[in-house]
């Protein structure tokens, strides 16, 4: 027992000779100490930190607040347990449970702190080029695995569990798991490769080879989640994502997305007028980007029409449906006002009359 603990126990023995009363006094003493520290953190330190320009210190205080408060209480409960002098098994289980609770809360706090640190590093590429927004989910998941493994290891030490047998059987256990959970392992490795290669990142608008299209909301170790335009979340195993064709509509030099308005005009139309009207419609639309500029292309001589495309850009791929609807509506109304005909598929049938002598000759041959 340390000198401080001996001094505390001697002081309590003078106040109350009964060990049960001493245990209660220890619990109340540390509860009061935790409350005083809580008031200091929330009313003094927090107000002082709020005056600084940095937001990181506020987040760090929020992360450490609860674990520190609970650690003081758990330490008091541990001292009270030692003072009560429970039999071996009961005392061991009680102290082990208190230490396990402390490990759990500090593991959560440590994970949150390291995630905060990773976010800060990812915002400044001059520090570490490896940690960026696109690779942040990979490091977050690796961080969770590392902290979880370390917490389990410390928990085994707290409960006096011998790890030698576990390490010896790890090879056999790993072989059995590799056969029993091969799909899970495939998803795990595919998730790591996806995060490292980064064909898409959080917030990107992607189109899968199977037809699903939506925002990437989560990139996990096992699966990827996308939110479709119907507000439906789809969870796709990473083993499938790693072996399918993915169109990242938000990739490239910028997030802008080009839409194509296909329209046909009748043969004989004034093409210069058609081009001017289409460009005017695009330039007057508030949703269409001014840079790059809209453009018109005469694509083909169709069966019933002269086929054109109006090419213009929108800020994000998610705007495609709404802007396409607006442009189609505006083009149809402007063509109607300007007298530009939008033809529909049609065929010309030529009927040729046959003379009476030819009909008689044909009838005789058939006979």
pLDDT (tens, 9 = 90+) of the chain, 367 residues, equals 556 666 666 666 666 667 788 788 888 888 999 999 888 888 888 778 777 777 788 888 889 888 999 999 999 899 888 888 887 788 889 989 999 999 999 999 999 999 888 888 877 765 555 666 666 777 787 888 889 989 988 988 888 887 776 666 666 666 666 665 677 777 777 877 787 777 888 889 999 988 889 999 988 878 899 999 889 999 999 888 988 899 998 887 788 999 999 999 999 999 999 999 999 999 999 999 999 999 999 999 998 899 999 999 999 998 999 999 999 999 999 999 999 999 987 667 777 766 655 555 545 554 4
Please indicate, yes or no, whether residues 10 and 143 belong to a single structural domain of this protein: yes
Domain that holds residue 50: 3-162
Please indicate, yes or no, whether residues 234 and 293 belong to a single structural domain of this protein: no
CB neighbours of residue 50 within 10 Å: 11
Please indicate, yes or no, whether residues 205 and 303 belong to a single structural domain of this protein: no
From CA 321, how far away is CA 259, in angstroms rounded? 9
Q: Is residue 41 part of a domain?
A: yes
Structurally, the chain folds into a number of domains equal to 3
Please indicate, yes or no, whether residues 153 and 61 belong to a single structural domain of this protein: yes
DSSP per-residue string spanning 286-325: TTS-SSSPPEEEEEEE-SSSEEEEEEEEESSGGGHHHHHH
Please indicate, yes or no, whether residues 28 and 156 belong to a single structural domain of this protein: yes
Q: Is residue 273 part of a domain?
A: yes
Please indicate, yes or no, whether residues 120 and 18 belong to a single structural domain of this protein: yes
Q: Is residue 171 part of a domain?
A: no
Q: Is residue 21 part of a domain?
A: yes
Count of residues making up the chain: 367
Please indicate, yes or no, whether residues 136 and 283 belong to a single structural domain of this protein: no
Please indicate, yes or no, whether residues 7 and 153 belong to a single structural domain of this protein: yes
3-state secondary structure 236-255: EEHHHHCCCCEEECCCCCCC
Please indicate, yes or no, whether residues 140 and 211 belong to a single structural domain of this protein: no
H helices within the chain, ranges in order?
3-15, 19-39, 46-50, 56-84, 88-123, 136-158, 164-168, 170-180, 182-197, 238-241, 271-284, 320-338, 356-366
Of 117, 147, 162, at which residue does a domain stop?
162
The helix/strand/coil state of 114 is helix
Residue 362, pLDDT score: 46
Residue 57, pLDDT score: 80
Q: Is residue 79 part of a domain?
A: yes
- Residue 247: beta bridge partners? 207
Sequence-ordered list of residues with C-beta below 8 angstroms from that of 289, at least 6 positions apart, any chain: 256, 312, 313, 314, 315
Residue 286, pLDDT score: 93
Q: Which domain CATH number covers 206?
A: 2.30.30.60
Please give the torsion angle defined by the CA atoms of residues 186, 191, 192 and 193, in that order, rounded to the nearest 10 degrees: 90
Residue 80, pLDDT score: 87
Sequence-ordered list of residues with C-beta below 8 angstroms from that of 333, at least 6 positions apart, any chain: none
194-219 per-residue burial string, b: 16 or more CB within 10 A, e: under 16: bbeebbbbeebbbbbeeeebbbbeeb
CB neighbours of residue 287 within 10 Å: 15
Eight-state DSSP code of residue 181: T
Please indicate, yes or no, whether residues 193 and 261 belong to a single structural domain of this protein: no
Q: Is residue 358 part of a domain?
A: no
Of 128, 162, 196, at which residue does a domain stop?
162
From CA 357, how far away is CA 66, in angstroms rounded? 109
From CA 223, how far away is CA 184, in angstroms rounded? 10
Q: Is residue 169 part of a domain?
A: no
Q: Is residue 13 part of a domain?
A: yes
Residue that the structure tokens 């940690």 belong to: 131
Please indicate, yes or no, whether residues 53 and 144 belong to a single structural domain of this protein: yes
Please indicate, yes or no, whether residues 92 and 71 belong to a single structural domain of this protein: yes
Are 22 and 13 spatial neighbours (Cβ–Cβ below 8 Å)?
yes
């Amino acid at each position: 027992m340390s000198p401080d603990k001996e001094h505390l126990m001697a002081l309590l023995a003078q106040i109350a000779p009964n060990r049960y009363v001493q245990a209660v006094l220890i619990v109340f003493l540390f509860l009061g100490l935790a409350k005083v520290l809580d008031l200091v953190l929330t009313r003094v330190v927090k107000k002082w930190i709020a005056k600084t320009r940095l937001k990181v210190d506020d987040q760090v205080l929020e992360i450490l607040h609860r674990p520190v408060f609970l650690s003081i209480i758990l330490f008091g409960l541990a001292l009270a347990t030692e003072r009560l002098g429970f039999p071996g098994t009961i005392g061991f289980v009680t102290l082990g449970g208190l230490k396990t609770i402390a490990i759990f809360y500090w593991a959560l706090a440590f994970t949150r702190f390291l995630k905060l640190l990773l976010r800060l590093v990812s915002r400044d590429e001059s520090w570490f080029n490896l940690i960026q927004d696109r690779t942040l989910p990979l490091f977050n998941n690796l961080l969770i695995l590392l902290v979880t493994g370390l917490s389990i290891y410390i928990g085994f030490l707290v409960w006096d569990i011998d790890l030698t047998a576990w390490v010896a059987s790890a090879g056999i256990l790993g072989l059995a798991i590799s056969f029993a959970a091969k799909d899970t392992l495939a998803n795990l490795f595919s998730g790591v490769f996806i995060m490292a290669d980064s064909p898409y990142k959080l917030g990107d608008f992607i189109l899968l080879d199977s037809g699903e299209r939506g925002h990437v909301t989560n990139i996990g170790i096992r699966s990827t989640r996308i939110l479709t335009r119907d507000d439906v979340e789809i969870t796709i195993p990473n083993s499938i994502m790693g072996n399918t064709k993915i169109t990242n509509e938000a990739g490239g030099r910028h997030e802008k997305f080009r839409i194509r308005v296909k329209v046909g005009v009748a043969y004989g139309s004034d093409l210069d007028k058609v081009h001017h009207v289409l460009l005017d419609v695009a330039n007057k639309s508030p949703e269409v980007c001014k840079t790059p500029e809209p453009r018109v292309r005469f694509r083909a001589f169709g069966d019933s029409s002269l086929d054109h495309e109006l090419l213009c850009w929108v800020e994000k791929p998610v705007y495609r449906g709404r802007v396409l609807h607006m442009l189609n509506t505006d083009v149809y109304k402007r063509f109607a006002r300007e007298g530009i005909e939008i033809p529909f598929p049609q065929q010309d049938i030529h009927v040729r009359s046959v003379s009476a002598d030819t009909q008689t000759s044909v009838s005789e041959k058939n006979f």
